[in-house]
Amino acid sequence: MWKLHQLIWKNYVPQSLEKGMWYINKENQFYKLESVPRNQEEYIQENGYPIELMISDDTDKIVVHLFSDIPQEGEIAWWDEGDHTDEFRDITIKDINKLYEDVDGYVSVLMDDETGEIIYEEDKPILTFPRPEHINEYEEDEDEEEQYDEDEDDGMCPHCSGTGMGMWDGSSCNVCGGWGYDRKKPEYDPD
């Protein structure tokens, strides 16, 4: 079974910069350091520190460290092209950039149906572009959270949190007048 996860990255501080370290630029595109800069401190000030890439689940728990330090070609993860082939290939920076561009870094990870654990082939997880049902499931969850937040407020005065009480004993809220809800003036409608 495929389950939706998210690729996340974080910076780390190396002893020194080395060829092959991964970075993310100002346009949110990943790239490899092609050569070691002459002035490493200046490069770090301009571009930040290198990154490591991980996979988190829906509880934001890190479930897989894809790499830290310098990943070698073919060491990160397998990429499943889809139903038209049974073979996997090594994931590329281009694949990861596409995931970030199109679906904010969300990725489908192949899981064992019985145990719910990530399946590894040659010590690498198998990833693919998120399946439509996973994207829809994620969007529905976001809609539910937004709806909950809207319902939670329900016109309650933000200043007194709906109590109607002011800052001192026996005083009323100076925003809602002690009513406990936001009493906005109705807009004038001449019709």
Per-residue confidence of the chain (191 residues) as pLDDT tens digits? 888 899 999 999 999 999 999 999 888 899 999 999 999 999 999 999 999 999 988 777 888 888 766 777 678 899 998 878 888 999 989 999 999 998 888 999 999 989 989 999 998 999 998 877 655 444 445 554 444 444 445 667 766 777 777 656 666 776 677 777 655 544 444 55
Tell me the residue length of the chain. 191
Residue 152 has a pLDDT of 47
- Single-letter residue type at 73: E
The answer to whether 111 and 117 have CB atoms below 8 angstroms apart is yes
pLDDT at position 31, please? 93
Show Cβ contacts of residue 105 under 8 Å, excluding neighbours closer than 6 positions. Answer: 6, 7, 8, 99
Model pLDDT, residue 67: 77
**pTM, rounded to two decimals:** 0.64
Contact 65, 120 (CB under 8 A): no
- What local confidence, expressed as pLDDT, does residue 185 receive? 41
For residue 132, give the amino acid letter: P
